[in-house]
Amino acid sequence: MRRMRNVKIVATLGPASSDRETIRALHAAGADVFRLNMSHGTHDEIAARHAIIRALEADLDSPIGVLADLQGPKLRVGTFASGAVELEEGARFRLDLDEAEGDSHRVRLPHPEIFAALEPGAELLVDDGKVRLRVEDCGDGFAECTVVTGGTISNRKGVNVPDVVLPVAALSDKDREDLEFACALGVDWIALSFVQRPEDVEEARALVDGRAAVLSKIEKPTAVRRIDEIIAASDGIMVARGDLGVELPVQNVPPIQKRIVRKCRAAAKPVIVATQMLESMIESPMPTRAEVSDVATAIYEGADAIMLSAESAAGQYPVEAVTTMDAVAREVEDDPTYTEILEASRVAKRESVADGIVAAAREIAETTEIKAIACFTQSGTTAALVARERPRVPIIAMTNLRGTARRLALTWGTHCVMTGELTRFKQAVVNAARAARVEGYATEDDQIVVTAGVPFNIPGTTNILRVAPCDERLIWATDPE
């Protein structure tokens, strides 16, 4: 299905969007990738949603990406005898391993690994930062704290530790089970929560074992500090602004978002901007002006994808939320300023033959009457490199591998077309010209740029470029081999 925009839309499925009709309507409205949140729903429910997506994909004969988002370890306090307590600013409060129910002076924190990593002066954030505690003294199994920001703490509220690299694996036992289930199901991306260091990504990659691409969610300050290494270790990145805004001052999040988007663009890795993009549309058919501006900002920055969470999973207006995102994206991309910003922020990278080929393809397309860039790709790398250039013309990514086409549904500007296995470059040119016409990007009177790697079917060999007519008769006449 051809989209009239370059940025991709990720829609989370949930109770409000689990039936066949709604999922079809979400895709028709603009959803390119569907997110399956492993934090909610049983394996049977998630498998049913996945089956609907794949049936829709078969009906439309168009690749659709599926992202399974792992929950990550959850750090929570224990329970209180009264169900909840009110903590006042300046009061003392103790966290420990005692299994007794808590009161206004203490509560259990059943995570000895946290106590082992704490130091005096560290902050603990409870219930998404509504209550803040500063560690005054700590030791084996306890932390004596001062209440910095008072409020109510109730049973099993979450705890964040922003100042410390925790000796906690990014994958819990549940995550390992969910990862294996999702890979066996056939998802295209695995999103990894609680990433603190590149080693977390490598652990997940070993378990995935090539069955899906690995995407790291950046939601902790420790990950921001090692972002270059994490990007290098990952296939893609998600800027999880909600969690970042809990563990960092909220004013820090926008510049971090901008830096991460640019770093991912330079690395030719897809980047999703996520969380609270159209939050008000959970209950309202119309977004706020501020939310529309927020979505537009991510698009102007050059993000590969923008994501809906509760808006499409549990909201009252899931299809309307996707429709709004699609409308905002098309309006932004029609603005001449959008092209100016992308071109001003382009990072010239000339480290390989492939880099030179895709840069030349963009330059040729922008200085002549070229209608599209068609690239043949096995692993998806060539298409990602072309997308890094952010060309002004559409990108037609052609592959004979369904998994590659599905993963590219997350990459900026790519329109994926399945093709048979090729052995000669002339076949590739003919197929590209035919696809450009069939998909509505060109007519027989137009020209396209074709890139490929020869010999075919070997990843990482992009080494040839041709400006070709879209009239197959001219291709055969000018290249009669």
Last residue of a domain, one of 160, 189, 212: 160
Within this chain, do residues 183 and 254 fall inside the same structural domain, yes or no? yes
Strands 142-149 and 92-96: antiparallel
In a domain? residue 345: no
pLDDT of residue 300: 97
- pLDDT higher than threshold 50 for residue 480: no
Edge-first strand listing for the sheet containing 370-376: 414-418, 395-399, 370-376, 447-453, 462-469
Same-domain status, 401 and 443? yes
DSSP label of 101 = P
CB 118 within 8 A of CB 166: no
In a shared domain, residues 98 and 202? no
Mean pLDDT, residues 467-481: 76
Regarding whether 464 and 423 lie in a shared domain, the answer is yes
Whose CA is closest to 395, among 268, 279, 286?
Answer: 268
Report yes or no on 348 lying in a domain: no
Of the pLDDT bands very low, low, confident and very high (cuts 50, 70, 90), residue 478 is: low
User: The CATH number of the domain where 426 resides is what?
Assistant: 3.40.1380.20
Within 345-471, where are the H helices?
353-367, 381-388, 402-407, 425-438
In a domain, 343, yes or no: no
Q: What is the CATH number of the domain that holds 283?
A: 3.20.20.60
pLDDT grade for 479, boundaries at 50, 70 and 90: low
pLDDT for residue 418 is more than 90: yes
pLDDT at residue 166, rounded to an integer: 86
Residue 305: inside a domain, yes or no?
A: yes
CB 284 within 8 A of CB 317: yes
Domain shared by 205 and 175, yes or no: yes
Q: What is the pLDDT of residue 292?
A: 98
SS3 132: strand
DSSP states of 30-56: T--EEEEETTSS-HHHHHHHHHHHHHH
Distances (CA, A) of 198 to 169, 213, 230: 12, 15, 5
Give the tens place of pLDDT for each residue, 352-382.
Answer: 899 999 999 999 998 899 999 999 999 999 9
End-to-end CA distance of the chain, in Å?
A: 34
Per residue, the 3-state secondary structure of 311-352, as one string, reads HHHCCCCHHHHHHHHHHHHHHHHCCHHHHHHHHHCCCCCCCC
Specify the number of domains making up the chain. 3
| Cα–chain center distance at 76 | 26
In a domain, 130, yes or no: yes
Q: What is the pLDDT of residue 214?
A: 98
Residue keyed to tokens 């040839």: 464
Same domain, yes or no: 308 and 204: yes
Residues 139 and 259 both lie in one domain: no
> Do 246 and 359 share a domain, yes or no?
no
Mean of pLDDT values over 285-295: 97
Does residue 253 share a domain with residue 123?
Answer: no
Helical axes 20-29 vs 43-60, angle rounded to 10°: 50
Same structural domain, 278 and 200: yes
- Catalytic positions, please? 35, 76, 217, 275
pLDDT digits (tens, 9 = 90+) for 310-361: 999 999 999 999 999 999 999 999 999 999 999 998 887 778 899 999 999 9
Question: Which residues, at least 6 apart from 229, have a Cβ–Cβ distance to it below 8 Å?
Answer: 197, 198
Residue 338 lies in a domain: no
Q: Of 160, 189, 219, which residue constitutes the final position of a domain?
A: 160
Q: Angle of helix 318-333 relative to helix 20-29, nearest 10 degrees? A: 10
**Distance of alpha carbon 452 from alpha carbon 466, whole angstroms:** 9
Of 275, 300, 333, the one marking the end of a domain is 333
Domain co-membership, 326 together with 473 = no
**Domain for residue 340, yes or no?**
no
pLDDT at 309 over 80: yes
Q: Is the pLDDT of residue 80 over 70?
A: yes
Residues 155 and 174 in one domain: no
Query: Per-residue pLDDT averaged across 434-452, rounded?
Result: 95
Mean pLDDT across 23-37: 98
- Output the pTM of the full model: 0.93
Residues spanned by the domain of 115:
84-160
Chain Cα centroid distance, residue 475: 39
| Residue 315, in any domain of the structure | yes
**Residues in the chain, overall count:** 481
Residue linked to tokens 């382009």: 346
* CATH number of the domain where residue 149 is located: 2.40.33.10
Torsion of CA 320, 321, 324, 330, to 10 degrees: -120
